[in-house]
Amino acid sequence: MTKAFEVVYLDPERVTFERKGDTLSLTLQTDDAPDGASNIIRYPRVALRACFPVSDNTEFLSVRDATDETIPELGIIEDWSQLQPESRDAVAAELGLHYFVPEITQVFTIKEELGFLYWTVETDKGRREFVMRNSVIHYAREVAPGHWLLIDVNEARYEIPDVTVLDAHSQKLVQQFLYL
């Protein structure tokens, strides 16, 4: 028997996010107390994921309890820009850490060794070196023609928005290592 998935939308007026150190917590006000009064539920650690991370960064934010992976999604915030300023700042900081995606502007070298690809690149955030598994199917995604998302061994992400705007040397390396 298949269990149907019900989307629960969280009301921005009834949620509060707080960030202490590296931990994001959630306080949720509900109306499910036995006497009809408000009930306050606190989740000491939550994880946020954008439902559409490549196309939109303010709409449809999935909220999950990070302390128990067996608990399904707590809910979706349809537009987190509608949160109270303190909560919005906490969410922005959390998403900034998870979705920090430097854009690759030049590829200096890609070296293949023992099942790994060692990249040396220039990004919009400066020169970077990273290692990714040599499994393009699992760790490189062409999200649109010529637009690549690369995931390194630490699950950090790098983006090539348009291969065709890279210099000839960079294009040749990308062509050699990413296109099957």
Residue 53 or residue 102, greater confidence: 102
> What's the pLDDT score for residue 1?
47
What mean pLDDT is predicted for residues 27-56? 77
Residue 151 C-alpha from the chain's centroid = 11
Which pLDDT tens digit goes with each residue over 128-166?
999 999 887 778 888 889 999 898 887 788 999 999 999
What mean pLDDT is predicted for residues 53-67? 76
Confidence of residue 98 (pLDDT cuts 50, 70, 90): confident
> What's the pLDDT score for residue 101?
85
CA distances from 104 to 96, 151, 174, 176 (A): 18, 13, 11, 16
HSE-CB of 85 using CA atoms within 13 angstroms: 0
Cβ neighbours for 53, distance < 8 A, ≥ 6 positions apart? 99
Q: Is the dihedral of CA 150, 152, 154, 159 positive or negative?
A: negative
Which pLDDT tens digit goes with each residue over 83-96?
999 999 999 888 87
Q: What is the pTM of this model?
A: 0.59
Residue 80 or residue 38, greater confidence: 80
> What's the pLDDT score for residue 33?
61
Q: Where are the domains of the chain?
A: 15-98, 104-178
Q: What angle do CA 74, 80, 82 make, to 5 degrees?
A: 125
Local structure of 110: helix, strand or coil: strand
**Least-confidence region, from 17-21, 69-73, 75-79, 125-129:** 69-73
Measured between alpha carbons, how far is 180 from 175 in angstroms, rounded to an integer? 9
